[in-house]
Structure 1
Amino acid sequence: MTPSPVRQSLVRRARRVRETAVRLARPLTEALVTGTPDPARPRSRRLTPRVPRALGLLPFQRIDLVLLGDLALTCILFGGGLSYLQTEAAAAHSLLDQEGLMFAALAFSLPLALRNRWPLAAWRSAFLLLPLGTVVSRQFLHEVPYTATGPIMYTLVVYAVAVRCERHITVGVWILSVLSAWVIHPASTVLVTGVVTVSVLFGHNVRARRLAAGLLAREERRSERAQAAQAALEERARIARELHDVVAHHMSVIAIQAEAVPLQAAGDARRLEEGLKEIRALSLAAMTEMRRVLGVLREEDGSTDTAPQPGLGRLEELVDTARSAGLDVTLKLVGDLIGLPTAVSLSAYRIAQESLSNAMRHAPGSTVSLKIARYGAELHVQVTNSAGYRSPESPESSGQPRHMGHGLIGMRERVAVLGGRLWVGPTGTGFAVTAILPITEDS
C-alpha cells in the first residue's frame, strides 16, 4: 500500500529535523565525549633543553619548559586560590573544613596541568570541576561564586583546545562554556562569553597560522622534490645529448674507416695493419670520451670521473679525425678563443663535431668549411659542406643530403640553453649550420 502524500511529507520533514539535530549535536558530542585533539607539535630545542649532568639520574633526557610552566602556574593558582578561600571562609564564619576548601582550590586550578598533553581532557575536567567547586565556594562567596583563579585556568584551557582541535569541536566547547556560565552565574554570562570568545578566536587564529605554515612547508618540500626530479631529467637529457654526439661522431668515423681501409690496403698487409691500428685508436678514444660523459653517474662507492669535457682546444684533433675519414676540411679561427666559458666552448665543439659527423654520414668525401669566430660577446660557429658523393643505389644519391635527425635537435637544445641562435638547412647542393652563442660570465 502506497503511503499518502501527507504521510510522505511528514516523513521527509521528520528526517530533515533528525538530520539537523544530529548536525547540531555533533559539536557538543565530540566536545564532551568522542572528540580527539591533534598531535602536539614538536617543540624547538630552546623550549626543550637537555637535563644538566648533575640531574642525569632523571628518567627523561630533556626538560619541557612549557609543561614545566603549566605545572608551576597550576601550583601558583592552587596556592593563591586556597589562601583566598581560607580568608573568605574565615571572614564569613563558614563551617567548611580544610578538605572542602582544598577541593575548591583544586577545581579552579588542577585542569591547567593537563592542557599541554591532553587539552580536551583538561577542558572536560574543568567543565565538570568548576560547577562542583562553585557549590563549595558559593557558601561564603555570594557575589561571584568562584575565585579569580578559575577564569584564568579556564581561559588557558579553552585556548589550548582551540589550538589543537578542529573547528566544530571548538564551537561545541564555546557553546557549552556559555551555557555553563549562564547556569552557574547568570550575571557574569556576558563577561564570560566575551572572555571565552576572545580565547577561542585567538587560539583558532594560531591554529590556522600553524596549519598554513605546515601546508607551506609541505609545498616547499614537494617543490624541492619536483625541482630535483626536473634537474635529474635535465641531467639525463644532457647526458643523452653528449652520448649522441660522441657515439655519432666516432662511430661514423670508424664505419667509414672500416670500409675504406681494405680498399686502400689493396692486399698490402702493412697498410691494412696500420688502418686497423687507426680504427682501434678511434675506438679507444670513443670509449674514453663515453666514460668521461658517463662519469657524472656516481658509482656505489661515490667515485666519479672528473676529467674535463672537450672544448675548442681539441678542434685540430677533431679536424684530423674528419680528414682521416675522407672529408676535405678547412679550419678557420678568428678572434681570441682563449678563456671562453666552459659551456660555450663545449657547445661550440659539439656543434662542430655533429656537423662533421653529418657530413661523413650524408655527404662522404665532401669539402667542409669550418669557421669559428669571436665577435665581441658572441661566438659564431659556421660549418658548410658540399654535396659529396654517393653510389647510384644510395637513397641520397640525388638531391640534397638529408641532415635531419636527433643531432640537430641536440644542437638546438644546446644553443637554446645558452640563449643563442641557430640556423640549419641546405645551401646550394650542400648543407650549412650556423650557430651564434652569447659569451657571458654565467655560461
Structure 2
Amino acid sequence: MTFVAGGRPREEERPRALLAEASRWWVRLLPWGVAFVLFVVLLPVTIAVLVGGYGLNGGVATGLAIGQTAPLLLAVLHPLRAWYVIFATDVVGAIVLLTVDVEGLEWPFPPMQIIGYVGLCLALGLREPRRTLLSVWLATVAAGVGLEFVKPPGAGASSILIIILGGVALVLADALRERYEARRKLVEQETISEVERGRRTLLEERARIARELHDVVAHHMSVITVQADSAAYRLPGLPADAQEEFASIAATARRSLAEMRRLLGVLRNEESGGELAPQPGLDRIGQLVEATARAGVPVEFTPCAADVPEAEALAAYRIVQEALANVVRHAPGAPTRVSVSEDGRWLTVVVVNAPPPVPPAAPLEVNDTGHGLVGMRERARLLGGTLDVGPLPDGGFRVAAQLPLTERSAT
C-alpha cells in the first residue's frame, strides 16, 4: 500500500497477467492454462525422476520439485520473481545431485527442469524489457559454464542445451511482444487520427456555416443601414434628435458590417468565387431535384412556398443538397422522395430513398469520411433543431430535419 497527497492510502496497481490485453478470451486464458498444465505434469514427473532415476531422498526430491514447478503459476503475473526462485532452485538441485551417482544421466539439469525453464523464458520474453532478458540469459550462461567445472565423470552435459533453448525462447517471445506492441500502437494512432479527422471536419463545417450565415446577416444589416440613412429623406419633418438617432443607428450598422467583412476575410477562401454568390434558399431546392433526376435518380418533390427566415432556408437547402448527393453516391437509381413543409413553428425537411434497383458493387467514393452527415447535424444543432438519419428496414435510407422558425414564433 502506498500513500498519496494528504496521507490517504492508495492500493498498488494490481499486476496484469500475461496477454491480459488480448481481444480474444481464449488468448487471455492461454498463459494460465499453460502454466497449470506444466505445473500439474512436471511436479509428479520431477519427483519420480529425482527419486527413481537419480536416487534422491523423497523429501529432498519433493522440495526441489516444488521449487522448480510451483513458481510457474506465479510467472503468469510476475515472471521475473518466478525466475529468481526457479533459477536458484535449479542451481541448488544441480549441487544436490552431486551427492548421488549421476553417471549416464543428464546433469546439471534433468530434462523436466529444462522444459519448465524454457516455458519460464517464454513468459519472461512476453513481459520484461530486453536488458532484463539479456541479464537472465547471461546468468543462465554463467550458471551452465560454472557448473561444468564440477561436472561428475560420465554425466551427460545439459548446460549447452538449456543455454540454447533458453536463449531461443527469450528471443522468440520478445519478438512476439514487439510485434504486438507495434500493432497496438498502430491501432491507437489510427484511432487518434480518426478523432482528429472528425474534429477537423466539424471545424471546417462550422467555418462554412459561419461564412454562409454572414451573408444572411449582412443582408439584414445592409437593409438597416439603408433605412436608417434614408429616414430623413423618406420621413419629412423628423425632429433633429430623431435624425441623430437614425444617423447613430446607421453608423453602428456600418461598423458592424465592416467587422463582419474583416471576419469573413479570415473564414472565406477568396480563391473560391462560388462563395461570393447569393446564398440559396427553398426556391433553389427544385433545381437540386432536377439535377439529381438528370443523374439517373427518380425524385418525387413536395415543395414549400412559405416565406421562412433565410438562415433556416439555407440550412434546409444544404441538408437536401447533401442528402441527394449521398443518394447518388451510395444508392444510384434509387427512387427518392423529398418533402419540405412548415407548420408555422417548424420547418420540416425529409429525404427518403428506397434501395437501389441494382446494388452497386462498390461505392462511387471509396474514401468517404462522413463529412456530409457531420455538416447536416451541425447545421440543425446551431439553429436549435434536430436531425434524424438512419437506414430503413427495407434497405433504404432516411434523413429528417426539423428546424425551428424562430422569427415567426417570436412574431
Q: Which has the larger radius of gyration?
A: 1
Q: What is the TM-score with the length of structure 1 in the denominator?
A: 0.46
